[in-house]
């Protein structure tokens, strides 16, 4: 639910930024009727100034303020536009927040295993039990930086599992490798560029992509990245419609196993699935 709200807020600011002038307001009926579908809990007030939770942060000069959005449900978001590339914008705002003591927090339940060039970058930061959610996205060739906070969120120690189970760094999702898919890859219509979920001992991620590349070449591209991240191949297979491999890795005495499978759906469309497992 929170991620849905975050995406809606980001979309609202992207619509605002397409106007002729920065910080130009959107008519309330557009936001509440078209963007937020008339739902009272999702309605947003867009303000011209800086969000209060960002006043202590020295925002990089390359980020131009669009405004602040406040939802009745207790979510506050601030948005900027920038001419920086997504990677540079992401690094710049992380450095600014890091200077104020905010640290990146791994989240195995929302981590993106498969990344497509140009896909949004999501990061959770923590300081003293409070959290900020960062999203860097691109709409019509323009990069946007969004920072969100949930006023009603209960503080909990940084790196603590929200489900209350074992430490996050032992969760299977945190052990899963991260893949950058080849240039020219795009998500299949109706699919995100990659996300996953599971438990402390089992994590599965599936994505569907479109790319003009052969099955074996795609499998090799992913396998090289597995090896670069310390995984050892145990076995591999390939056929006319699928290819895959099994892997293992030792993380400070904790073994992990992984299975990668790529299935050709059509001439240039593939399903990719990675499953990581830890001892229970």
Secondary structure string (H, E, C) spanning 27-73: CHHHHHHHHCCCCHHHCEEEECCCCHHHCCCCCCCCEEEEEEEEECC
Question: How large a percentage of the chain has pLDDT more than 70?
Answer: 66
The Cα 58–Cα 38 span in angstroms is 36
Residue 119: predicted pLDDT: 65
Same domain, 91 and 29: yes
Give yes or no for residue 220 having a pLDDT over 70: yes
- Structural domain includes residue 156: no
Q: Specify the CATH number for the domain of residue 249.
A: 3.40.1000
Instruction: State yes or no: pLDDT of 9 exceeds 70.
Output: no
Mean pLDDT of 10-29: 48
| pLDDT over 50 at 18, yes or no | no
Residue 41 located in a structural domain: yes
Pair 118, 84 in one domain: yes
- Is residue 71 located within the same domain as residue 193? no
Indicate the pairing of strand 179-180 with strand 114-115: parallel
Domain boundary among 123, 150, 177: 150
Tell me: do 8 and 119 sit in the same domain: yes
- Mean pLDDT of the residues in the chain: 75
Question: Do 113 and 186 share a domain, yes or no?
Answer: no
269 token code pair: 């469309």
User: How many domains does one find in the chain?
Assistant: 2
Whether the per-residue pLDDT at 43 is higher than 60: the answer is yes
State the pLDDT at residue 1.
Answer: 46
Q: Provide the CB-side half-sphere exposure for 98 (13 A, CA).
A: 10
Give the tens place of pLDDT for each residue, 61-85.
999 888 887 776 677 888 888 999 8
Kindly give, in sequence order, each residue whose CB lies less than 8 Å from that of residue 90, ignoring residues fewer than 6 positions away: 121, 123, 134, 136, 145
Q: 82 lies in a domain?
A: yes
Q: Which domain holds residue 63?
A: 2-150
13 and 119 housed in the same domain: yes
Q: For residue 241, give every residue at least 6 positions away whose Cβ sits within 8 Å of its Cβ, in sequence order, or none.
A: 215, 263, 264
Is 158 contained in some domain? Answer: no
From 2-16, 62-76, 90-104, the region with the lowest mean pLDDT: 2-16
Residue 118 shares a structural domain with residue 13: yes
**Residue 219 sits in the same domain as residue 100:** no
Judged by average pLDDT, the poorest of 103-107, 131-135, 224-228 is 103-107
In a domain, 136, yes or no: yes
Q: Are residues 107 and 7 in the same domain?
A: yes
**Residue range 12-19: mean pLDDT, rounded:** 47
pLDDT band at 166; cut points 50, 70, 90: very low
pLDDT at residue 96, rounded to an integer: 93
Same domain, 146 and 172: no
**Do residues 35 and 14 touch, judged by C-beta distance below 8 A?**
no
The string of pLDDT tens digits covering residues 183-213 is: 788 877 765 555 555 556 777 888 888 888 8
What local confidence, expressed as pLDDT, does residue 185 receive? 82
Residue 256 lies in a domain: yes
Check whether 111 has a pLDDT greater than 70: no
- Residue of 93, 66, 67 whose CA lies nearest to 81: 66
Asked whether residue 162 is domain-assigned, the answer is: no
The answer on 238 and 106 residing in a single domain is no
Mean local confidence (pLDDT), 214-236: 90
Q: Are residues 241 and 131 in the same domain?
A: no
Model confidence at 13: pLDDT above 70: no
User: How far apart, in Å, do the first and last CA atoms of the chain sit?
Assistant: 29
Whether residue 155 is contained in a domain is answered as no
Q: 115, 150, 185 — which closes off a domain?
A: 150
């Amino acid at each position: 639910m929170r991620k849905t709200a975050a995406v809606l807020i980001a979309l609202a600011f992207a619509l605002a930024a397409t106007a002729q002038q920065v910080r130009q307001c959107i008519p309330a009926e557009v936001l509440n009727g078209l963007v937020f579908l008339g739902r009272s809990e999702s309605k947003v007030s867009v303000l011209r100034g800086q969000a209060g939770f960002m006043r202590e942060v020295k925002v990089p000069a390359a980020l131009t303020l669009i405004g602040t959005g406040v939802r009745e449900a207790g979510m506050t978001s601030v948005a900027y536009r920038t001419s920086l590339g997504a990677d540079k914008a992401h690094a710049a705002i992380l450095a600014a927040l890091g200077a104020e003591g905010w640290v990146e927090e791994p989240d195995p339940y929302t981590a993106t295993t498969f990344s497509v060039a140009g896909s949004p970058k999501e990061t959770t930061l923590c300081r003293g039990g409070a959290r900020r959610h960062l999203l860097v996205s691109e709409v019509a060739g323009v990069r946007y930086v969004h920072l969100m906070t949930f006023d009603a969120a209960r503080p909990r120690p940084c790196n603590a599992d929200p489900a209350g189970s074992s430490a996050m760094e032992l969760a299977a999702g945190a052990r899963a490798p991260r893949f950058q898919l080849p240039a020219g890859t795009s998500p299949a219509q109706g699919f995100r560029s990659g996300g996953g979920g599971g438990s402390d001992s089992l994590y599965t991620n599936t994505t569907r992509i479109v790319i003009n590349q052969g099955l074996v070449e795609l499998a090799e591209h992913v396998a090289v990245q597995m090896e670069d991240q310390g995984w050892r191949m145990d076995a591999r297979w390939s056929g006319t419609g699928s290819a895959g491999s099994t892997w293992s890795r030792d993380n400070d005495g904790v073994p992990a196993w992984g299975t990668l499978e790529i299935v050709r759906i059509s001439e240039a469309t593939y399903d990719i699935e990675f499953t990581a497992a830890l001892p229970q």
